[in-house]
Structure 1
Amino acid sequence: MNALLTIVLVVQILTALFMIGLILLQHGKGADMGAAFGSGASGSLFGATGSANFLSRTTAVLAAVFFVCTLALAYFSNLAQPVGSGSVLERAAPAAPAAPVTPPSPASQIPGGGTPVPAQQGPATTPATTAPATPASGAAQIPTK
C-alpha cells in the first residue's frame, strides 16, 4: 500500500510540473490580435493553428490525470487509520494524585513578616514580631497610590 501511495504521489508531482510547463507555453486569447497587425506570432513552434489544439488537449489530459491522482491520494489517506485515534485527553496517561496543597498563611506571604527574626541577624533591642493578619482574598496586598 505504501508503494502505491508513493507511485501515485510521484505521478501527481510530475503531472503538475508538466502542466505548469504546458500552460506557460500556451498563448493567451489576446495573443492572436498581435498577429493580425504584423507581429511574428504566426512563426511559433507548432505553427499558427497547431499549437492551440496540441497544447490544450495535452493540458486537459494532464489535468484529468492530476485530479484522478488527487482523488486517489485523498481516498487512500482516509483508509489508513491513525495510530492513536481518539481524543488527546483519552490518550493522556493518568497522573499520580498530587499531595493536598495547604494555602500559605497570609503572614508568610509578606517578606520578613511571618518569621521571627533570629538574634544574630538583627539588633537585640527590638522583639521579634509577626505581621498582622490580612484578608484571605489578597486584596490587602495590592499597593495603593
Structure 2
Amino acid sequence: MESILLVVHVIVALLIIGLIMLQQGKGAEMGASFGAGASQTVFGAVGSGNFFSRLTAILAAVFFVTSFVLAVIANNRVELDDRLIPELETVTEVPAVVTPPASEVPAAPAQESGAQDSPIGE
C-alpha cells in the first residue's frame, strides 16, 4: 500500500510540474492580444487558463493528501520500531583497571650512540 501511494505521489508531483510549465505567465496576455503566438497554442489565447488552473488545483490537493498520508504512515512505522528495541540494562559496577608493578614492565632496549643509526648521511 505504501509503495503504491508513493508511486502515485511521485506521478502527481511530475504532473504538477508539467502543468505549471505549460501555463502562460501573466505577462503573456499583452503579447497574445497583438497576435504574438496566440494562433500556435492548443487552446487558443484564453481557453487554456481555466482548464490548466483547475487541473493544477486538483492535482495540488491530491499531492497534499498523499503527503499527509505518507507522513502518517511513516510516523506509525517509527512508533512500531521503538517498541521492538529492547531496553538496555544499566551497568552498576565499573571494572577496576589493573596496572602491573613497575618491576614487571620490560624496559625498552637502549640504543647505542653510533653514527650508523644516524638518519643524516655523511
User: Smaller-chain TM-score range?
Assistant: 0.5 to 0.7
**Two-structure CA RMSD over aligned residues (Å):** 3.6
Q: Is the 8 A contact 2:32 2:45 kept in 1?
A: no
Moved over 3 A (4+): 84-87, 90-94, 96-99, 101-105, 114-118
Please state which structure has a larger fraction of its residues in helix.
2
Q: Residues of 2 paired with 1:104 and 1:30: CA distance?
A: 88
Deviation (angstroms), 1:58? 0.5
Of residues 2, 10, 15, the one that matches 1:13 is 10
Q: Residues of 1 paired with 2:12 and 2:46: CA distance?
A: 25
TM-score (norm 1): 0.58
1:44 paired with 2:35, answer no
Of residues 26, 29, 40, the one that matches 1:29 is 26
Q: Hey, what does 2:52 align to over in structure 1?
A: 55
AA aligned to 1:63 is A
Structure 2 gap ranges (5+): 113-122
Deviation (angstroms), 1:65? 0.3
Indicate the percent of aligned positions where both proteins have the same amino acid: 49
TM-score (norm 2): 0.67
Q: Residues of 1 paired with 2:52 and 2:108: CA distance?
A: 92
Deviation (angstroms), 1:93? 9.0
Q: Hey, what does 1:133 align to over in structure 2?
A: none
Distance change (3 Å), C-alpha of 1:92 and 1:39 = farther
Q: Hey, what does 1:79 align to over in structure 2?
A: 76
Q: Is the 8 A contact 2:19 2:52 kept in 1?
A: yes
Q: Residues of 1 paired with 2:89 and 2:31: CA distance?
A: 68
Identify the structure with bigger relative contact order (alpha carbons < 8 Å, sequence gap 6+).
2
Which structure has the larger Rg?
1
Distance change (3 Å), C-alpha of 1:53 and 1:102 = same
Q: Residues of 2 paired with 1:47 and 1:116: CA distance?
A: 93
